[in-house]
Structure 1
Amino acid sequence: MTATVSERKPAAERIAVRCVDSDVHPTPKAGELTPYIPEPWRSKYFLTRRVGDQIYYDAPDYAHAYAMRLDTFPSDGNFAGSDPDLAFKQLIMEAGADIAILEPAAYPARFPEVNHAMSVALNDWQANHWLDSHNNWHERWRGSICAAIEAPEDSAREIERWAGHPYMGQILIKAEPRPAWGDPKYNPIWEAATKHDITVSCHLSRSHHEELPIPPVGFPSYNHDFMVTYSLLAANQVMSMVFDGLFDRFPTLRIVLVEHAFTWILPLMWRMDAIYEARKSWLDIKRKPSEYVKDHIKFTTQPLDYPEDKTELTRAFEWMECEKILLFSSDYPHWTFDDPRWLVKHLPEYAREAVMFRNGIATYHLPETVPALEGQVRVF
């Protein structure tokens, strides 16, 4: 008996994009990523370590579900987020996302060369297991060009390698390595990004102990303390980019801060603007700091800081001009998943379309239409 595989083809009819999800986490199946890691690092570094042994994250029921939605684990025994078809069913068909930005993650090594090797592997793996014609037949996935920011020259070459790929939607870096992003050592990455007009995104990650956000009084005692400090890490990168003149050097650069929260940007903009007014003659930047933020930096909605008095959140949305700087994100398949149909209800009505899809289309240069899918839930 001969088995036949029917070719997957998108529908000829197209529908308007009404929900762009800026934070979705694909995971390699067991053994799937290893062949893509270049030598000598595959043998010297990664094959001597069990993936997962170094992860620390005390989310509720972590020992059982590893901070993932229980229903996102596929039936074949692999990890949550490893099955493109299940993710398509849950996120696209049932939750209503029209385009999803994939952001693979890997625990960092202490050597720039090893982090670069992992980035190379993740990029090849995405292209062959998520963005190929079999798994992206519906044209809903967009990948991330993973780049080891610690190795700027290598990362620039990796960006060049993938810049022409039709489904690579952004460049993905980490925020922990020193120095801050305003330092000229990172110019090769910004040059490659602006040359090809690709957005640079940074997702919250778990780095080595000495690279975690360090408040002035020292390391936090518990994980819940540490989770709050991650906004401090993003805030310091924002200040570095603004005051070190990054956006004057690269006036078309676009940055997205993913899962670092966002309500903190309002008082930070106020404070930066006040310092700017008081010390304008000492600074080389050309505009108010808040103007750079609103023109160059975006923030994702998850995690949503939700006060008991919802009017406080509404005022914060208005004061920060959320319609200019926010992108919807779900954080699928994590337990902190925000369903777009839930999130949209908490946005000011005037900002809903901007946050849910217009900003995403503009930020990632996405198409305004996608192939229709029979039975797909629609957020709008």
Structure 2
Amino acid sequence: MTVTADTTATDRVTPAERIAVRCVDSDVHPVPRRGELVDYIPEPWRSKYFRSHRVGEQIFYDAPDYAHSYAMRVDSFPADGEFACSDPDLALKQLIMEAGSDIAILEPIHGEMRIPEATAAFCTATNLWLANHWLDAHNNWHERWRGSICVAIEDPASAVAEIETWAGHPYMAQILIKAEPRPSWGDPCYDPVWAAATKHDLVISCHLARGQFETLPIPPVGFPSYNHDFMCSYSLLAANQVMSLIFDGVFDRFPTLRIVFIEHAFTWILPLMWRMDALYEARKSWLDIKRKPSEYVKEHIKFTTQPLDYPEDKTELMRAFEWMECEKILLYSSDYPHWTFDDPRWLVKHLPEHAREAVMFRNGIQTYHLPDTVPALEGQVRVF
């Protein structure tokens, strides 16, 4: 017998009946309520860094409706006045019950500080907060949430320590890093992080971040002027990391390593694969990698569907999907609770029919090692 998701603290019982997973959302952003996170930050960083100076507005490039709703869905703010996606029950209602996602990968947007140790301290706090406020039995009674082990890639030793701490947690599904820190990922300094990920068979996902000052993604010509060119620059950042991973031999050193680029767009990967393959054929004798670059992409790298580049002529998008073999490299994502939210019932209609199941749930189950069934919730919308 199924139960509804409209429960109270006294009747949060995991249903015995299970249903097949038909939608895995790989990009959902929970946010702490005011005051929830601070006590988790380890000392001395809590007192000497995060509480020692006033922090004002830190956004550098405003989204179109930032002043109105912080670039969030206006209906995702809970009634208690807290921030969007700070209430697990409201997120369950909107994302699972009403939109139809079956499992959601939670990715707290931990910031990039100028001091690596401070970023690492913030990641430690974020992981504790997520485990205690979203992945606990009270808030994950329905078993629909999966968490991310947030790590500071620029501090490999602390990153490995966090991975070792959380790798055995039943609801931690991935390792979450940022792409901004230098040098690029092909540098051997990151090898301990890749080794820890492959040791525990955890996928490493990279979500865009704004960073601070010189940690912002900077195109070769300098800082962008507006939000729109700033957002496009994330794809340039991801493209550079893809090339570094491949040409610097990371996937040859770690043949089971898996990488997901979240919210960096994806249509650019098709011409990049063509270009890398052409250079590989012309300079094969000078390169140490063992296969065509496009083969590494299709075996080791995935991208999330949001943001979806949508041309006026839909046939152009369909051709791009076919040429890049989207069923091998795409994961559905909604970007909840942002205003750019892609409802899974809308997104699935824009995929080639043969790729719909792979993109919407099969790739997600495989990538994050998810169960293929979840507890049934009465009244939940189904995408398939």
* Fold agreement, TM-score > 0.5: yes
TM-aligned CA distance change 1:48 to 1:55, over 3 Å: farther
- What amino acid is the match of 1:205? A
The answer to whether residue 348 in structure 2 is matched with residue 344 in structure 1 is: yes
Work out the CA distance in 2 between the residues paired with 1:175 and 1:146: 13
What do the CA deviations read for 1:248-305 (whole angstroms, capped 9, x no partner)?
0000000000000000000000000000000000000000000000000000000000
* C-alpha contact (below 8 Å) 2:114/2:215 kept by paired residues: no
Work out the CA distance in 2 between the residues paired with 1:265 and 1:52: 37
Structure 1 residue ranges, 4+ long, deviating more than 6 angstroms after superposition:
none
Other structure's SS at 1:279 match: helix
Work out the CA distance in 1 between the residues paired with 2:61 and 2:52: 22
Structure 1 residue 51: deviation in Å? 5.9
Unaligned runs of 5+ in 2: 1-7
The answer to whether residue 182 in structure 2 is matched with residue 174 in structure 1 is: no
The answer to whether residue 199 in structure 2 is matched with residue 195 in structure 1 is: yes
Partner of 1:29: 33
Other structure's SS at 1:171 match: strand
Partner of 1:232: 236
Work out the CA distance in 1 between the residues paired with 2:66 and 2:283: 48
Work out the CA distance in 2 between the residues paired with 1:301 and 1:132: 29
TM-aligned CA distance change 1:129 to 1:49, over 3 Å: farther
- What amino acid is the match of 2:334? S
The answer to whether residue 155 in structure 2 is matched with residue 151 in structure 1 is: yes
Work out the CA distance in 2 between the residues paired with 1:147 and 1:179: 16
How many residue pairs align between the two structures?
377
Partner of 1:86: 90
TM-aligned CA distance change 1:49 to 1:76, over 3 Å: farther
Structure 1 residue 154: deviation in Å? 1.0
Q: Calculate the aligned-residue CA RMSD, in Å.
A: 1.1
Other structure's SS at 1:287 match: coil
The answer to whether residue 313 in structure 2 is matched with residue 287 in structure 1 is: no
Work out the CA distance in 2 between the residues paired with 1:87 and 1:52: 27
The answer to whether residue 44 in structure 2 is matched with residue 40 in structure 1 is: yes
- What amino acid is the match of 1:377? V
Partner of 2:3: none
Give the % identical residues. Answer: 80
* C-alpha contact (below 8 Å) 1:98/1:140 kept by paired residues: yes
Other structure's SS at 2:108 match: coil
TM-aligned CA distance change 1:170 to 1:31, over 3 Å: same
Structure 1 residue 156: deviation in Å? 0.3
- What amino acid is the match of 2:86? S
Work out the CA distance in 1 between the residues paired with 2:9 and 2:366: 37
The answer to whether residue 108 in structure 2 is matched with residue 109 in structure 1 is: no
Work out the CA distance in 2 between the residues paired with 1:218 and 1:165: 42
Unaligned runs of 5+ in 1: none
Relative to the length of structure 2, the TM-score reads 0.96
Work out the CA distance in 1 between the residues paired with 2:9 and 2:228: 48
Other structure's SS at 2:139 match: coil
Work out the CA distance in 1 between the residues paired with 2:15 and 2:238: 41
Relative to the length of structure 1, the TM-score reads 0.97
- What amino acid is the match of 2:247? F
Structure 1 residue 49: deviation in Å? 4.8
Other structure's SS at 1:59 match: coil
Partner of 2:362: 358
Partner of 1:140: 144
Work out the CA distance in 1 between the residues paired with 2:82 and 2:334: 21
Work out the CA distance in 1 between the residues paired with 2:54 and 2:130: 21
1:1-380 alignment runs, 5 A limit: 5-49=9-53, 53-380=57-384
Other structure's SS at 2:47 match: helix
| Structure 1 stretch displaced more, 341-350 or 41-50 | 41-50
